[in-house]
Amino acid sequence: MTAPLTFPCNVRDLGGLPLVGGGTVHPGLLYRSDDPGRGDRVSGDRLTSEFGIRHVIDLRHADELERAGTLGTFVVREDVVHHPVPLTLYDALGDEGLPTDAAGMGRLYSRSVAASTAAYVDALRIIADADAPVLVHCSHGKDRTGIVIALVLTAIGAEPAAIVEDFGRTNDNLPTMHRIAKEVGVSIGLSRIHGVMLEAPPAAMSGFLDVMARKHGSPLAPLRAAGLSEETVKRLRAKLG
């Protein structure tokens, strides 16, 4: 299910993605998006009334919140619990700097997990423990959100190809997101990124999964070492799978 292409532009339900061995991700429980705080009250009402969202995991860091100037009309609602889990990819740039191709994006994502493992564990715990549908977002709903969603989907046994395909769906929404941002004069934090980082190439996600498997045996291995418990994984599987 995809919301109309107004802010937030990049909303989708992860339900219906295929699981290894059969079955699909349960619908209506986990959503991803760009920043929902850019929307108006009507957008917020739809996200809560139609999608039933009651928990929002906000991956934006302090600088982004300062630039935005507000948490927006959606995440300050009394019927929505706001969970700040600040992440920034800039902490993971290392000697490579900003990626110039999809393979570099995949490596950046893997370094982000290494640099901020505890935050990724927190995000998975919040999703596992939530008593209502959850929305995960950053500014664009692409990189940090994509990593969190990939880790959740891996934990519940989603088909790797489906994880990659879902990541690439953001490409369908990016032109509209950029156009609307320009029309309404909203900054979406593009000043520091360029080239391939303005896209969502599926090869970036497949590269991330490959790097994590090659280095650690599984994308979840670093999270388990940092405190992701088997009970949390079981709750995720019971809820979403």
Going by pLDDT thresholds of 50, 70 and 90, the confidence category of residue 9 is: confident
In a domain, 1, yes or no: no
- Residue 115: Cβ within 10 Å count: 17
Res 90: pLDDT: 82
In a domain, 2, yes or no: no
Q: Whole-angstrom Cα distance, residue 57 to residue 113?
A: 17
Going by pLDDT thresholds of 50, 70 and 90, the confidence category of residue 10 is: confident
Going by pLDDT thresholds of 50, 70 and 90, the confidence category of residue 3 is: very low
**What's the pTM value of the predicted model, to 2 decimals?**
0.90
Res 4: pLDDT: 36
Q: Are 207 and 201 in contact (CB under 8 A)?
A: no
Establish how many alpha carbons lie within 13 A of residue 38's alpha carbon, considering only the half-sphere containing its beta carbon: 30
Q: Whole-angstrom Cα distance, residue 49 to residue 172?
A: 25
Residue 194: which CATH number?
3.90.190.10
In a domain, 7, yes or no: no
In a domain, 4, yes or no: no
In a domain, 107, yes or no: yes
State yes or no: pLDDT of 229 exceeds 50: yes
Please give the distance of CA 88 from its chain centroid, rounded to a whole number: 12
In a domain, 120, yes or no: yes
Find the helix packing angle between 160-168 and 170-184, rounded to 10°.
20
**Could you list the residue range(s) of the whole structural domain that residue 213 is in?**
12-231
Which residues, in sequence order, are bridge partners of residue 32?
Answer: 12, 136
Per DSSP, the residues of 79-120 read TSEEEE----GGGG-GGG-S-SSHHHHHHHHHHHHHHTHHHH
State yes or no: pLDDT of 11 exceeds 60: yes
Least Cα distance to 153 among 10, 17, 2, 13 occurs for 17
Q: Whole-angstrom Cα distance, residue 237 to residue 241?
A: 5
Query: What would you measure as the largest C-alpha separation in the chain, in angstroms?
Result: 47
Q: Are 159 and 20 in contact (CB under 8 A)?
A: yes
Task: Please give, one letter per residue, the 3-state secondary structure of 113-136.
Answer: HHHCHHHHHHHHHHHHHCCCCEEE
What is the number of structural domains in the chain? 1
113-170: per-residue pLDDT in tens?
999 999 999 999 999 999 999 999 998 899 999 999 999 999 999 999 999 999 999 9
130-142: per-residue pLDDT in tens?
999 999 999 889 9
In a domain, 241, yes or no: no
Res 24: pLDDT: 98
Going by pLDDT thresholds of 50, 70 and 90, the confidence category of residue 214 is: very high
In a domain, 6, yes or no: no
- Residue 225: Cβ within 10 Å count: 11
52-108: per-residue pLDDT in tens?
999 999 998 877 776 665 545 455 567 889 899 999 888 888 888 889 999 999 999
